[in-house]
Amino acid sequence: MRSFLRAALLASLLALPVVSTPQGTQTRLQRLQAAVASNPSDSASLFFLAREEAGAGDAKAAAASLRKLATMADGYLPPRADGFEKVWSDPQVTQAVQALEAKLPRLDFAPVAFTVDDPGLIPEGLAYDPQAQAFYLGSIAEHRIMRIDAQQHITEFAGAAADLDSVLGLAVDSPRHTLYAVSTSALTAKGREHPRNQVVAFDLITGTLVRRYEAPLAAQLNDVTVAFGGRAYVTDSGSGQVFELQADRPARVLVGPGQLRGANGIAASADGKSLYVAHATGIALVDTGTGAWKPVVNRTRENIAAIDGLYQYNGQLIGVENVTNPGRVILMRLSHGADEIVEVRTVLSHHHNQLNEPTTGAVRADTGYFFLLAATGVTHFNEQGRIENLDTLPTATVLKVLLPR
């Protein structure tokens, strides 16, 4: 079963509830067809249309959409297990997929930094504290946070006493010795009956929980970032919102519902005046003062849709893709005005044999490496909060990806 996270992405793109009935499929097809017709240059919508056609078993239509996609953009590659299963063996689909893959560069060198051998973990978020030289890894299934020190000793940083739900995005505010962790109950059917969306802050030195930031207006919080000066922001994938965390009061709505559908990865500009927010079809640039936003113009042919982890690095953006590609890490060079993408480079491609549902990562600017949470098994976590198919569940693995200098 696909996780609620990925099912919700398409639903948010179309402003639809998550459904799996034939009537729901037809509605999604019609809306995607309309979206593609109204904006023929939108390669992301065309990809999602191909996925929906494949899910409906229409191999001919899916192959035609994928062939058209190949003429429009680079970087797309349908993941077999994410909506394309029904038509994967069809010769037309096979040919179209091969044509897309032939255009992708092969960059598959990245050594394993460390692994966490806990089959019940299902990690999604990763953060790094440069002062202690320690990584923090959050668990969807076990509702806890692990600490991996410079000698790769693994200990529990936050467990049952912290009263966490599924842990997603993590971010370190090093000057203030704080770890922010997204905690949400929205990944299971039972959890959505009585939703709880919070960002929980911990003191990195003592390990104590110092504050819970409530977001009662959120549907499913996802990722968090800290801007210059210590202000923190969090995305809501379920409703397409962005919130600013505020002490002793509910999170402030910065970008309102439905504006950034599928809002996921988030990164602050170096001066803290802007946020880059990844969403279903691209990246938005958000003013942290007013909440006004505009699309980041993509001047390349490369796919920048549905990015999961998003990070600022020396005036560039690092993105982790796992929906429109089985898995890759890209480096996006911004224009002088920082509102356009003028170059996209693949720094790790899907060819790496350790990639298995990559999600997020952490930048070590001092070394010039990006540490990628490369193997997670997130789609093994089902609506009932149980882990499926244990025989194919990967060991949680973090790779060390060299960034261009």
Please state, in angstroms and rounded to a whole number, the distance separating the CA atoms of residues 82 and 52.
Answer: 10
CA dihedral sign of residues 49, 50, 52, 58: positive
Side by side, the strands of the sheet bearing 274-279 are 266-268, 274-279, 282-287, 293-295
On whether residue 269 sits in a domain, the answer given is yes
- Whether residues 116 and 98 fall in one domain: no
Question: Given a cut of 80, is residue 19 above it in pLDDT?
Answer: no
pLDDT digits (tens, 9 = 90+) for 358-404: 999 999 998 999 999 999 999 999 999 999 999 999 999 999 999 99
What is the band of 6 on the pLDDT scale with cuts at 50, 70, 90? low
- Whether residues 277 and 318 fall in one domain: yes
More confident residue, 268 or 3: 268
On whether residue 107 sits in a domain, the answer given is no
What is the band of 82 on the pLDDT scale with cuts at 50, 70, 90? confident
What is the band of 13 on the pLDDT scale with cuts at 50, 70, 90? low
395, 375 Cβ separation under 8 angstroms: yes
Look-up: residue for tokens 């390349």?
Answer: 300
Q: Indicate the residue among 46, 78, 102 that finishes a domain.
A: 102
pLDDT digits (tens, 9 = 90+) for 219-241: 999 999 999 999 999 999 999 99
CATH number of the domain bearing residue 346: 2.120.10.30
In angstroms, the Cα distances linking 272 to 2, 171, 191, 259, 331 are 35, 15, 34, 21, 20
- Whether residues 95 and 171 fall in one domain: no
Q: Indicate the residue among 102, 133, 160 that finishes a domain.
A: 102
Q: Indicate the residue among 74, 102, 130 that finishes a domain.
A: 102
On whether residue 204 sits in a domain, the answer given is yes
In angstroms, the Cα distances linking 237 to 4, 9, 286 are 11, 7, 16
- Whether residues 140 and 273 fall in one domain: yes
Look-up: residue for tokens 């299934």?
Answer: 141
- Whether residues 133 and 152 fall in one domain: yes
- Whether residues 133 and 232 fall in one domain: yes
What distance separates the 2 farthest-apart alpha carbons in the chain?
59
What is the band of 405 on the pLDDT scale with cuts at 50, 70, 90? confident
Please state, in angstroms and rounded to a whole number, the distance separating the CA atoms of residues 281 and 290.
Answer: 23
Question: Given a cut of 60, is residue 11 above it in pLDDT?
Answer: no
- Whether residues 267 and 142 fall in one domain: yes
- Whether residues 59 and 187 fall in one domain: no
Question: Given a cut of 50, is residue 274 above it in pLDDT?
Answer: yes
pLDDT digits (tens, 9 = 90+) for 25-56: 568 888 899 999 999 999 999 999 999 999 99
Tell me which residue of 364, 371, 374 sits closest to 313, measured CA to CA. 364
On whether residue 307 sits in a domain, the answer given is yes
pLDDT of residue 134: 98
- Whether residues 255 and 390 fall in one domain: yes
Contacts of 357 (CB under 8 A, 6+ apart): 322, 327, 375, 376, 377, 378, 379, 394
- Whether residues 133 and 157 fall in one domain: yes
On whether residue 330 sits in a domain, the answer given is yes
pLDDT of residue 28: 82
On whether residue 387 sits in a domain, the answer given is yes
pLDDT of residue 27: 83
Structural domain for 235, as ranges: 112-402
pLDDT digits (tens, 9 = 90+) for 113-155: 999 999 999 999 999 999 999 999 999 999 999 999 999 999 9
Question: Given a cut of 50, is residue 208 above it in pLDDT?
Answer: yes
Question: Given a cut of 80, is residue 276 above it in pLDDT?
Answer: yes
Q: What is the mean pLDDT of residues 309-316?
A: 96
Q: What is the mean pLDDT of residues 309-335?
A: 97
- Whether residues 96 and 135 fall in one domain: no
- Whether residues 60 and 173 fall in one domain: no
- Token output for 251: 């999170």
On whether residue 265 sits in a domain, the answer given is yes
Name the domain count of the chain.
Answer: 2
Question: Given a cut of 60, is residue 5 above it in pLDDT?
Answer: no
Q: At 86, give phi and psi (nearest 5°).
A: -65, -30
CATH number of the domain bearing residue 58: 1.25.40
The torsion region of residue 83 among left (phi > 0), alpha (psi -120 to 50) and beta comes to left
